[in-house]
Amino acid sequence: MEKTRTAKKKEAAMEEMRTGPLRNLKKRLDSSKDQEIHFVRLENESRDGLTLVALALFEVHGRESKDFPQEEYALAVLKGTSESGKGYEWWVDEIMYPYKPATATLPEKPVDDGHGHAH
């Protein structure tokens, strides 16, 4: 069954939301030789079921241009699981750029009523 035009537009918009920040970050880093990115710190970490979640803050800086300020930040949402019990396999789940430090939130855990029922 062929996708409708509306479904295709919605899919394209979702793909842009997912990949746009990474493409924009790459565009900045490729814009001149003096552009740099440095890990600053983990802003937060949590567990979502068996998956670890960490928010990694990066500073992006270089010569100011008409397209980019001298300094910005990016955030990588990292997720990790351990299937073998011998360490974690990590991946980048999402990139936020530009990013204002300390504004991202971790997924909220459902409140458990003590009987194994989350509300």
Residue 34, domain member (yes or no): yes
Residue 104, domain member (yes or no): no
Domain that holds residue 70: 5-96
Q: What is the pTM of this model?
A: 0.80
Residue 105, domain member (yes or no): no
Helix (H, G, I), strand (E, B) or coil at 36: strand
Report in angstroms the alpha-carbon separations of 34 from 27, 65, 74, 95: 13, 11, 17, 22
Contact predicate 113/119, CB 8 Å: yes
Residue 111, domain member (yes or no): no
Measure the CA–CA gap between 107 and 96, rounded to whole angstroms.
15
Q: What is the pLDDT along the chain (119 residues), one digit of tens a residue?
A: 567 888 888 888 888 888 999 999 999 999 999 999 999 999 999 999 899 999 999 999 999 999 999 999 999 999 999 988 788 999 999 999 999 999 999 877 655 555 555 55
Residue 109, domain member (yes or no): no
Residue 56, domain member (yes or no): yes
Residue 103, domain member (yes or no): no
The amino acid that residue 64 corresponds to is E
Number of domains the chain is built from = 1
Residue 112, domain member (yes or no): no
